[in-house]
Amino acid sequence: MIQTKGQFQSAKRFLFLVGDIGQFTLRFFREGFHKPFEWKEILKQCGEVGYRSLSLVGVTAFIMGLVLTIQSRPTLVEFGAESWLPAMVSVSLIREIGPVITALICAGKIGSRIGAELGSMRVTEQIDAMEVSGTNPFKYLVTTRVLATSLMLPLLVIFADTIALYGSFLAVNIKGAVSFQLFFNQVFETLEFSDLIPSILKSFFFGFIIGIIGCYMGYNSKKGTEGVGKSANSAVVVASLMVFILDLIAVQITDLFYEL
Partner 1 sequence: MNYKTKERENVIEIRDLKKSFGDNHVIRGFDLNVKDRESVAVLGQSGSGKSVLIKCVIGLITADEGTIKVLGKAVEQLNQVELDELRTDIGFLFQSNALYDSMTIRENLEFPLRRLRRDKSKAEIDAAVQEALEDVGLFHTLNLMPSELSGGMRKRISIARTLIVQPKIILYDEPTTGLDPITAGEINQLMNKVQEKYKTASIIISHDLDCIKVTAQRIVILKNGINYKEGTFEELKNSEDPWVSAFFNT
Binding region for partner 1 (CB under 8 A): 36, 117, 121, 124-126, 128-136, 140
Nearest residue (CB) to partner 1, 126 versus 173 = 126
Nearest residue (CB) to partner 1, 140 versus 204 = 140
Least gap, CB of 127 to partner 1 (angstroms): 9
Residue ranges of alpha helices (H) inside 33-134 are 39-49, 54-78, 85-92, 98-106, 112-123, 126-132
Least gap, CB of 238 to partner 1 (angstroms): 24
Which runs of E-coded beta strand occur in the chain? none
* Residues 128, 229: Cα–Cα separation, whole Å: 20
Least gap, CB of 23 to partner 1 (angstroms): 15
Nearest residue (CB) to partner 1, 124 versus 225 = 124
**In the 8-state DSSP scheme, what is residue 124?**
T
Least gap, CB of 136 to partner 1 (angstroms): 7
* Residues 154, 207: Cα–Cα separation, whole Å: 8
* Residues 75, 201: Cα–Cα separation, whole Å: 32
b/e 135-153 (16+ beta carbons within 10 angstroms → b) = eebbbebbbbbbbbbbbbb
* Residues 59, 163: Cα–Cα separation, whole Å: 8
Nearest residue (CB) to partner 1, 118 versus 152 = 118
Nearest residue (CB) to partner 1, 126 versus 220 = 126
**In the 8-state DSSP scheme, what is residue 52?**
G
Least gap, CB of 121 to partner 1 (angstroms): 8
Helix (H, G, I), strand (E, B) or coil at 178: coil
